[in-house]
Structures are given as C-alpha cells and as structure tokens.
Structure 1
Amino acid sequence: MARREDPSVPVRITTAATSHHADIAARQKRYVISMTIRTLCFVGAVAVGPGWLRWVLVAGAVLLPYVAVVMANPESRKDDSFELRGSQTTRELPPSATRR
C-alpha cells in the first residue's frame, strides 16, 4: 500500500484508498476470472479441432497469465484533481465543556 507523499495535506474521502481487504478481494476476483477464461481457452482449443480457431485459443491461453498478473496488480490511486483552498494548517476543535 502506498504512503502519502505529504502528511500535512488532508485526505479527502473522494481520494481515500480502499481497505486492504477490499483491495485484495478485488485483485483475487480479477485473477480468478482471467484464469477461468484461460481454462476455457485450453478446453476450447482441444474441442475445436484443427484450424485457425485452435491457434487463436492456444495463443489466448498462453498470453492470459501475463495479462492476468498485470491486471491483478495495478496500484490504485484516486485523484479528483481538485485543489483545496485556504490554509493548509490543521485546525483543532476547541475544548469541550465538561459537566460536573
């Protein structure tokens, strides 16, 4: 998980990263879908028989692992490209009144 460049800049909810668990789950889902397609390409290549379609399916089955890994491992960065105006200093809330 990437660290923030400047900790003094506030994090906006629109640019906050997803949780680690949600990120891993999304990556696993993309990878499983890609590997399912790869398996179907192998089965299709055997079932189709000789011809150009077989070689297209074999090429898909050979290239999909690379594509699946690249798709499963992108760094998710959110940027809404809006600048915050005003003071960049952190303001504190005033102390609360205590009851006796």
Structure 2
Amino acid sequence: MRKRHGGGGPEVFRITGARQGLQDDVRGRQRRYVISMSVRTLSVILAAVLWNVERHVAIVALVLGLVLPYIAVVIANAGRENAPGLPSTFVTPPTRPMITPPDDEDRGPADRD
C-alpha cells in the first residue's frame, strides 16, 4: 500500500507544466541568434549601398548593424525561462464525496428508535 500525504492521493503532474526540452531550447536560441545576425548583415550591406544615396537611412542601418550583435548575444545567452502562462504543475486529485447517514424519512419502520 502507498502512503498518502495529507489525505489527498498520489501526486499527479500536468504535462503542460513541463519545461521545454533542452535541445529544443538551444535550437530556438540558435535560430533567434542566426536571424538577428542575418538582419545585422543586411543592415550593414544596406548602409554601404545607401551611404551616397540616402545618408540618414544609411546611418540608421549602420547603428542597427552595430547594436544588433550585443542584443543577439544577450538574447542567445538568456537562460531557460519558466512559462508563466501555463497552469500549475500539480493537479489536485478530486475529493470523494462523504457518505452521509440517511435522513429519518428514508429509514424503514424497523430502523427507527
């Protein structure tokens, strides 16, 4: 027989409360990093192409190309986060209704005092 703590029952886990797997987490962070570096590369190329045509846009693209590596590294190195929107990890087991003694009306003539 199993011991029951608190009169509840066995502990039940929800799968939706489980964290994302480590491989999936790393793959997602790598994908975000590659996308950020691709945007950075495009912005530096855009800055070089537009330097003599539209200098204001070229400067904005150059600043974006300079700032994105820092942002990409911070995002890629961010730790594994807990999912705040998911329900609790534990499910409370349903409580069984208590059986109550029958009312006086439900008793037969032999059961009455």
Cα deviation for residue 11 of structure 1 reads: 4.4
Runs of 4+ off more than 6 Å: none
Instruction: Give per-residue Cα distances to partners, 1:3-45, cap 9 Å, x unaligned.
Output: xxxxxx8642112111111111111100000000000011000
Structure 1: segments with no counterpart, 5+ residues = 1-8, 87-100
Amino acid at match of 1:58: L
Once structures 1 and 2 are overlaid, which stretch shifts more, 49-58 or 11-20? 11-20
1:85 matched residue in structure 2? 92
Which of 34, 56, 63 is residue 67 of structure 2 equivalent to? 63
TM-score by length of 2: 0.59
Q: How many residues align?
A: 79
1:4 matched residue in structure 2? none
TM-score by length of 1: 0.66
Going by fraction, where is helix more abundant, 1 or 2? 1
1:5 matched residue in structure 2? none
Structure 2: segments with no counterpart, 5+ residues = 1-10, 94-113
Amino acid at match of 1:44: L
SS at match of 2:82: coil
2:36 matched residue in structure 1? 34
Is 1:19 the equivalent of 2:21? yes
Distance 1:11 1:70, change over 3 A: farther
Aligned mates of 1:60, 1:47 — CA distance in 2: 15
Q: Tell me the percent identity.
A: 33
Work out which of the two has the higher radius of gyration on C-alpha atoms and give 1 or 2. 2
